[in-house]
Amino acid sequence: MPLEFTTSYLKDALALFGYYKKLGERAMEQVSDQQLFEVMDEEMNSIAIIVKHMCGNMRSRWTDFLTSDGEKPDRNRDTEFVDPPDTRDGVMKLWEQGWGCVFAALKPLCDTDLERRVTIRGEDHSVMQAVNRQLAHYAYHCGQMVFLAKHFQQGDWKSLSVPRNKSAEFNRRVLSKELSQR
């Protein structure tokens, strides 16, 4: 993700949410349809289950974000960990629905909204705290998805950042690009 210098918390948060959305998508692109539903053991979640949980969380947290509790009364969190959609298309539909809730809630906000009060499970949060809470939560789950995808792909894995043993080459390219832009 190319970093864009900003002093706007919201602009940066939106960029980070976008980064983690794309990270999850790039991980899912590398696995087979079957691997979306595989688990490493009975205590682990599949990528599809992680997506289902994230979508449930996103719908609950970001629907009527400024005006209702972030834990909606109709959310049944426990059901998010069973019976995911049975196709890649179904998983991706949930993925898009969830992220649609995130961006629909955040894009209209302005910096003065950061100090507003919202509740999650009856606890008061500033908007900034609520955003941070969810950013950390989604980064955690996207990391799980990358871990699973990398495990399933093993030697066929295509790095989503700086490939192993390629740091010096990466740094040279970045420095060369910066110098040519001056």
The domain limits of the chain are 9-180
DSSP percent split of the chain into helix, strand, coil, nearest 5: 65, 5, 35
Distance CA 178, CA 182 (A): 7
CATH architecture designation of domain 9-180: Up-down Bundle (1.20)
What local confidence, expressed as pLDDT, does residue 162 receive?
72
pLDDT in tens, 29-87: 999 999 999 999 999 999 999 999 999 999 999 999 999 999 999 999 999 999 999 99
Q: Angle of helix 47-62 relative to helix 127-153, nearest 10 degrees?
A: 170
What local confidence, expressed as pLDDT, does residue 170 receive?
66
